[in-house]
Amino acid sequence: MHTAPAFQPAVAGPSGTPAARRRRVIDAPTRMFHWLFALSFVGASLTAAGERWRALPGTLGSALAGLFALRVLYGLVGPRQARLVPMVRRLRAAPAWLRSFAQALRDCSVQGVNWRQGQNLLMAFAVVALFAMVVPLTLSGYGTYDDWGDFLGGDWLEDVHEFFAEVFLVIVLGHVAMIALLSVSRRRNQALPMLSGHIDGSGPDIVKRNHAWLAVLLLIAVIVFVGWQWQQSPNGLIPAKGSTQSWSDRRHHHDD
């Protein structure tokens, strides 16, 4: 997890003015993954309403699933700081933290509770929960898109998909709210590392190599995928203005 390590004051420059030192904590592929992942989810959520728009959320949902698969692969074979196991292992501290918190409640005192650790655990939990939710969300989404539910009749699979989409949205809103609250309480923009990859302060870079080429490759892969889907889809991914033909009409027409 990339939560900023303890702050260390910057060393003074030759003219005595403190040199702005910064450390790289998140590499380019992880940051590119993050914003493509966030955009795919937000785009799919905003266009999911209404039968005529099924092509675009379908494509963005597939992009979300593809990005997740690549992130898991990167988390298994990628650089140490991008590994997923430490991210999950970090949650092992949660039961002990919850016990200390429960004890503090019983003692009616907030002393002795490591709030910073609690915040980091909540951030890590939100991220792990998002990763865990991608599978049921995209699988039920693809099943709805491909009418898997028909054999049992009714839109039960669409209901399942909407349930997971709402759970995912709640976790995302919690994730963004936590980052906003932490930025205020720690008086430091916690979103910045996911944009620039750096945090201010001296000390060794946690990320030795940025792998910008891999981030560019990931971006190109997503653009090519969406472009291919657009080309494959009967009338593109965005229904023509005033066209009343629903997605399944267009799709079944396309299959004829």
Per CB under 6 A, the segment of 48-56, 89-97, 102-110, 172-180 that binds ligand HEM is: 172-180
CA distance readout (Å), 113 to 103, 116, 179: 9, 9, 20
In angstroms, what is the minimal distance from the CB of 112 to ligand HEM?
Answer: 24
Under the binding rule (CB under 6 A), the answer on residue 71 touching ligand HEM is: yes
Choose which of 91, 93, 179, 217 interacts with ligand HEM (CB under 6 A): 179
Q: Are 189 and 180 in contact (CB under 8 A)?
A: no
Per CB under 6 A, the segment of 157-165, 174-182, 230-238, 244-252 that binds ligand HEM is: 174-182
> What's the CA gap between 31 and 198, in Å, rounded?
11
C-beta of 64 vs 233, nearer to ligand HEM: 64
DSSP state of 122: H
Under the binding rule (CB under 6 A), the answer on residue 2 touching ligand HEM is: yes
Under the binding rule (CB under 6 A), the answer on residue 137 touching ligand HEM is: no
Per CB under 6 A, the segment of 10-18, 94-102, 122-130, 243-251 that binds ligand HEM is: 122-130
> What's the CA gap between 169 and 24, in Å, rounded?
29
Other CB atoms within 10 Å distance of the CB of residue 214: 19
C-beta of 2 vs 52, nearer to ligand HEM: 2
In angstroms, what is the minimal distance from the CB of 18 to ligand HEM?
Answer: 25
CA distance readout (Å), 230 to 56, 68, 121, 162: 9, 21, 40, 24
Is residue 198 classed as helix, strand or coil in its secondary structure? strand
In angstroms, what is the minimal distance from the CB of 250 to ligand HEM?
Answer: 28
Residue nearest to ligand HEM (CB): 2
In angstroms, how far is CA 33 from the centroid of its own chain? 8
> What's the CA gap between 45 and 22, in Å, rounded?
36
Point out which residues bind ligand HEM (CB under 6 A): 1-3, 30, 33-34, 37-38, 41-42, 71, 123, 127, 130, 172, 175-176, 179, 190-191, 193-194
